């Protein structure tokens, strides 16, 4: 489900790195993990989406406005590259969706009465626990 503009792959920089963790001898020989770098300021995204991306509180977005995504789930470089691109697209899609405006509401008359009745019942229960004054 695509909500935002599609990322142009020419604006994305990929770097093949060695994956971390278990993987036997293969993990020490082959660079299958991917570092994706995407500069928000230099991209062709609309200004509104750029501002929303920069305002996001995401650890993958640096102070310089560069998104860095590391993908190492799969054993294949091609699949890790596709995974990193999908994560970047998801981030842009979330920035493209406008936030819902919260409309302040008021409690109903019945809910106010229920709240006051509950307070009265609790007050009576606690008053019954007190020691009587002579």
Helices first, then strands: H and E counts in the chain: 4, 3
Kindly report, residue by residue over 17-51, the tens digit of the pLDDT.
888 776 666 666 777 889 999 999 999 999 999 99
Domain range list for the chain? 9-96
- Locate tokens 């991209």: which residue? 43
Q: How far apart (Å, rounded) are the C-alpha atoms in residues 45 and 89?
A: 12
Residue 71 clears pLDDT 70, i.e. is over it: yes
Q: Does the model's pTM come out above 0.75?
A: no
Which overall architecture, per CATH, does domain 9-96 show? 2-Layer Sandwich (3.30)
Q: How far apart (Å, rounded) are the C-alpha atoms in residues 69 and 61?
A: 9
């Amino acid at each position: 489900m695509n909500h935002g503009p599609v990322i142009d792959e020419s604006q994305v920089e990929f770097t093949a790195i060695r994956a971390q963790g278990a993987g036997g001898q293969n993990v020490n020989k082959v660079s299958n993990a991917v570092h994706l770098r995407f500069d928000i300021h230099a991209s062709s995204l609309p200004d509104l989406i750029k501002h929303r991306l920069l305002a996001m509180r995401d650890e993958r977005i640096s102070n310089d406005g560069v998104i860095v995504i590391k993908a190492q789930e799969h054993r294949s470089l091609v699949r890790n590259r596709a995974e990193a691109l999908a994560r970047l697209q998801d981030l842009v899609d979330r920035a493209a969706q406008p936030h819902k405006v919260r409309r302040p509401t008021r409690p109903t008359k019945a809910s106010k009465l229920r709240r006051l009745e509950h307070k009265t019942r609790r007050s009576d229960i606690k008053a019954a626990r007190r020691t009587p004054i002579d």
